[in-house]
Amino acid sequence: MLKTLTIDEVIEMVKKTPEQDTFDWKSDFVIPNDPDKQGEFIKDLTAIANACYSSYGYIVYGIHPLKPDPIIGITQFYDDSKLQQFAQGKIEPLPEFLYYEISAGLKVVGVLQVKPTRRRPHIISVDLGKVRKGQIVIRRGSSTDGVTMKDLYEFFYGQTSDHFSNVVQQMRAHTQQQLANIKLIQELREQQNSCLQHMEIISGIPRGSIGAKW
Protein backbone atom coordinates (compact mmCIF):
# COMPACT_ATOMS: atom_id res chain seq x y z
CA MET A 1 0.00 0.00 0.00
CA LEU A 2 1.47 3.35 -1.05
CA LYS A 3 1.66 6.09 1.58
CA THR A 4 -0.12 9.10 0.11
CA LEU A 5 0.97 12.71 0.48
CA THR A 6 -0.86 15.37 2.44
CA ILE A 7 -1.64 18.74 0.86
CA ASP A 8 1.11 20.33 3.01
CA GLU A 9 3.62 17.79 1.68
CA VAL A 10 2.48 18.49 -1.88
CA ILE A 11 2.89 22.26 -1.41
CA GLU A 12 6.35 21.81 0.14
CA MET A 13 7.44 19.51 -2.70
CA VAL A 14 6.13 21.90 -5.35
CA LYS A 15 7.91 24.89 -3.81
CA LYS A 16 11.23 23.15 -3.12
CA THR A 17 11.53 20.61 -5.92
CA PRO A 18 12.24 21.62 -9.52
CA GLU A 19 11.11 19.38 -12.34
CA GLN A 20 13.43 16.40 -12.37
CA ASP A 21 13.64 12.70 -13.19
CA THR A 22 11.11 11.68 -10.57
CA PHE A 23 8.96 14.81 -10.36
CA ASP A 24 6.76 16.45 -12.97
CA TRP A 25 3.90 18.87 -12.72
CA LYS A 26 0.99 19.79 -14.96
CA SER A 27 -1.47 22.63 -14.68
CA ASP A 28 -4.49 20.35 -15.06
CA PHE A 29 -5.46 16.70 -15.17
CA VAL A 30 -6.60 15.63 -18.62
CA ILE A 31 -9.04 12.74 -18.68
CA PRO A 32 -7.64 10.06 -21.03
CA ASN A 33 -10.76 9.77 -23.17
CA ASP A 34 -9.23 9.61 -26.66
CA PRO A 35 -6.17 7.80 -28.10
CA ASP A 36 -3.86 10.85 -28.02
CA LYS A 37 -4.63 11.65 -24.38
CA GLN A 38 -4.44 7.98 -23.44
CA GLY A 39 -1.08 7.61 -25.14
CA GLU A 40 0.22 10.72 -23.38
CA PHE A 41 -0.80 9.35 -19.98
CA ILE A 42 0.82 5.96 -20.68
CA LYS A 43 4.01 7.69 -21.85
CA ASP A 44 4.16 9.88 -18.72
CA LEU A 45 3.60 6.92 -16.41
CA THR A 46 6.21 4.79 -18.20
CA ALA A 47 8.80 7.58 -18.21
CA ILE A 48 8.47 8.24 -14.48
CA ALA A 49 8.54 4.50 -13.67
CA ASN A 50 11.75 4.02 -15.66
CA ALA A 51 13.38 6.87 -13.72
CA CYS A 52 12.35 6.07 -10.13
CA TYR A 53 14.38 3.13 -8.84
CA SER A 54 15.14 4.35 -5.31
CA SER A 55 12.45 6.91 -4.46
CA TYR A 56 8.83 7.53 -5.36
CA GLY A 57 8.03 9.30 -8.60
CA TYR A 58 5.32 11.96 -8.77
CA ILE A 59 3.27 13.84 -11.30
CA VAL A 60 1.26 16.54 -9.57
CA TYR A 61 -1.70 17.99 -11.44
CA GLY A 62 -3.32 21.37 -10.84
CA ILE A 63 -0.22 23.34 -9.91
CA HIS A 64 2.02 26.01 -11.41
CA PRO A 65 5.19 26.55 -9.34
CA LEU A 66 5.97 29.88 -11.03
CA LYS A 67 2.78 31.55 -9.79
CA PRO A 68 2.54 33.29 -6.39
CA ASP A 69 0.02 30.66 -5.34
CA PRO A 70 1.27 27.44 -6.96
CA ILE A 71 -2.02 25.61 -6.31
CA ILE A 72 -4.38 26.40 -9.19
CA GLY A 73 -6.50 23.26 -8.96
CA ILE A 74 -7.66 20.72 -11.51
CA THR A 75 -10.86 21.17 -13.51
CA GLN A 76 -11.46 17.49 -14.30
CA PHE A 77 -11.69 14.75 -11.73
CA TYR A 78 -10.99 11.06 -12.10
CA ASP A 79 -10.82 7.82 -10.20
CA ASP A 80 -7.80 5.64 -9.51
CA SER A 81 -9.64 2.39 -10.25
CA LYS A 82 -10.40 3.60 -13.78
CA LEU A 83 -6.74 4.46 -14.37
CA GLN A 84 -5.62 1.11 -12.97
CA GLN A 85 -7.99 -0.70 -15.30
CA PHE A 86 -6.98 1.47 -18.24
CA ALA A 87 -3.23 0.89 -17.73
CA GLN A 88 -3.58 -2.90 -17.66
CA GLY A 89 -1.92 -4.52 -20.67
CA LYS A 90 -0.43 -1.26 -21.93
CA ILE A 91 2.91 -1.29 -20.06
CA GLU A 92 5.08 -4.36 -19.53
CA PRO A 93 5.74 -4.87 -16.68
CA LEU A 94 3.07 -2.59 -15.24
CA PRO A 95 4.54 -0.28 -12.57
CA GLU A 96 2.78 0.02 -9.24
CA PHE A 97 1.08 3.40 -9.05
CA LEU A 98 -1.74 5.27 -7.36
CA TYR A 99 -3.76 8.30 -8.45
CA TYR A 100 -5.50 10.35 -5.78
CA GLU A 101 -6.92 13.83 -5.35
CA ILE A 102 -6.38 16.15 -2.39
CA SER A 103 -8.43 19.16 -1.40
CA ALA A 104 -6.62 22.45 -0.88
CA GLY A 105 -9.38 24.69 0.37
CA LEU A 106 -11.75 25.13 -2.55
CA LYS A 107 -9.18 23.74 -4.98
CA VAL A 108 -8.19 20.16 -5.70
CA VAL A 109 -4.85 18.80 -6.85
CA GLY A 110 -4.27 15.38 -8.38
CA VAL A 111 -1.25 13.21 -7.61
CA LEU A 112 0.04 10.32 -9.67
CA GLN A 113 2.43 8.47 -7.34
CA VAL A 114 4.69 5.74 -8.74
CA LYS A 115 6.41 3.20 -6.50
CA PRO A 116 10.18 2.76 -6.89
CA THR A 117 10.96 -0.22 -9.11
CA ARG A 118 13.98 -2.28 -10.09
CA ARG A 119 11.99 -4.21 -12.70
CA ARG A 120 12.97 -1.77 -15.41
CA PRO A 121 12.70 -1.30 -18.30
CA HIS A 122 8.97 -0.69 -18.42
CA ILE A 123 7.99 -0.94 -22.07
CA ILE A 124 4.92 0.48 -23.81
CA SER A 125 3.12 -2.56 -25.20
CA VAL A 126 0.43 -1.00 -27.44
CA ASP A 127 0.05 1.51 -30.25
CA LEU A 128 -1.94 4.34 -28.70
CA GLY A 129 -2.20 7.85 -30.11
CA LYS A 130 1.33 9.03 -30.85
CA VAL A 131 3.09 6.34 -28.80
CA ARG A 132 4.10 3.04 -30.33
CA LYS A 133 4.37 -0.51 -29.12
CA GLY A 134 7.92 -1.28 -28.03
CA GLN A 135 8.82 2.29 -27.03
CA ILE A 136 10.97 2.66 -23.92
CA VAL A 137 10.86 6.19 -22.53
CA ILE A 138 12.44 7.70 -19.45
CA ARG A 139 12.10 10.91 -17.51
CA ARG A 140 15.36 12.82 -17.83
CA GLY A 141 15.51 16.14 -16.03
CA SER A 142 12.46 18.15 -17.02
CA SER A 143 11.69 16.24 -20.21
CA THR A 144 10.76 12.78 -21.45
CA ASP A 145 13.35 11.07 -23.62
CA GLY A 146 14.07 7.73 -25.25
CA VAL A 147 16.45 5.38 -23.48
CA THR A 148 20.11 5.09 -24.41
CA MET A 149 22.50 2.12 -24.38
CA LYS A 150 23.77 3.41 -21.04
CA ASP A 151 20.21 3.31 -19.67
CA LEU A 152 19.69 -0.24 -20.93
CA TYR A 153 22.97 -1.36 -19.42
CA GLU A 154 21.87 0.06 -16.06
CA PHE A 155 18.41 -1.53 -16.37
CA PHE A 156 19.84 -5.01 -16.89
CA TYR A 157 23.29 -5.04 -15.29
CA GLY A 158 23.57 -2.00 -13.01
CA GLN A 159 23.32 -1.78 -9.25
CA THR A 160 19.68 -0.64 -9.57
CA SER A 161 18.65 -3.76 -11.50
CA ASP A 162 16.80 -6.84 -10.33
CA HIS A 163 17.59 -8.59 -13.60
CA PHE A 164 21.32 -8.96 -12.97
CA SER A 165 20.86 -11.00 -9.79
CA ASN A 166 18.54 -13.34 -11.70
CA VAL A 167 21.10 -13.68 -14.49
CA VAL A 168 23.83 -14.49 -11.94
CA GLN A 169 21.59 -17.09 -10.29
CA GLN A 170 20.85 -18.71 -13.65
CA MET A 171 24.56 -18.75 -14.53
CA ARG A 172 25.40 -20.36 -11.19
CA ALA A 173 22.67 -22.94 -11.66
CA HIS A 174 23.94 -23.68 -15.18
CA THR A 175 27.53 -24.00 -13.91
CA GLN A 176 26.46 -26.31 -11.09
CA GLN A 177 24.57 -28.47 -13.58
CA GLN A 178 27.61 -28.64 -15.85
CA LEU A 179 29.83 -29.66 -12.90
CA ALA A 180 27.30 -32.31 -11.91
CA ASN A 181 27.27 -33.64 -15.47
CA ILE A 182 31.10 -33.78 -15.54
CA LYS A 183 31.17 -35.64 -12.23
CA LEU A 184 28.58 -38.12 -13.50
CA ILE A 185 30.61 -38.77 -16.67
CA GLN A 186 33.74 -39.33 -14.58
CA GLU A 187 31.89 -41.81 -12.36
CA LEU A 188 30.52 -43.68 -15.39
CA ARG A 189 34.00 -43.90 -16.92
CA GLU A 190 35.41 -45.23 -13.64
CA GLN A 191 32.66 -47.84 -13.49
CA GLN A 192 33.32 -48.82 -17.10
CA ASN A 193 37.06 -49.19 -16.44
CA SER A 194 36.36 -51.23 -13.32
CA CYS A 195 34.19 -53.62 -15.39
CA LEU A 196 36.94 -53.99 -17.99
CA GLN A 197 39.50 -54.74 -15.27
CA HIS A 198 37.27 -57.46 -13.82
CA MET A 199 36.73 -58.96 -17.29
CA GLU A 200 40.49 -59.07 -17.92
CA ILE A 201 41.09 -60.72 -14.53
CA ILE A 202 38.34 -63.28 -14.97
CA SER A 203 39.42 -64.06 -18.54
CA GLY A 204 43.06 -64.34 -17.56
CA ILE A 205 44.15 -62.17 -20.46
CA PRO A 206 46.97 -59.61 -20.21
CA ARG A 207 46.10 -56.38 -18.52
CA GLY A 208 44.91 -53.71 -20.92
CA SER A 209 44.01 -56.21 -23.63
CA ILE A 210 40.45 -54.99 -23.91
CA GLY A 211 41.14 -51.40 -22.89
CA ALA A 212 41.19 -51.45 -19.10
CA LYS A 213 43.39 -48.88 -17.46
CA TRP A 214 45.57 -50.12 -14.61
Residues 52-70: what's their mean pLDDT?
91
Find, among 143, 119, 106, the residue nearest to 21 by Cα: 143
Question: 107 φ, ψ to 5°?
Answer: -105, 160
Q: What is the pLDDT of residues 138-154, one digit of tens each?
A: 999 889 999 999 999 88
pLDDT confidence bin for 135, thresholds 50/70/90: very high
Whether residue 163 is predicted with pLDDT greater than 70 in this model: the reply is no
Poorest-pLDDT segment among 45-54, 111-120, 195-204? 195-204
Whether residue 165 is predicted with pLDDT greater than 70 in this model: the reply is no
Average pLDDT, the chain: 89
Rounded to 10 degrees, what is the CA torsion of 35, 39, 45, 50? Answer: 160
Could you give the CA distance from residue 168 to residue 172 in angstroms, rounded to a whole number? Answer: 6
* Distances 112 to 22, 45, 62 between C-alpha atoms, Å: 11, 8, 12
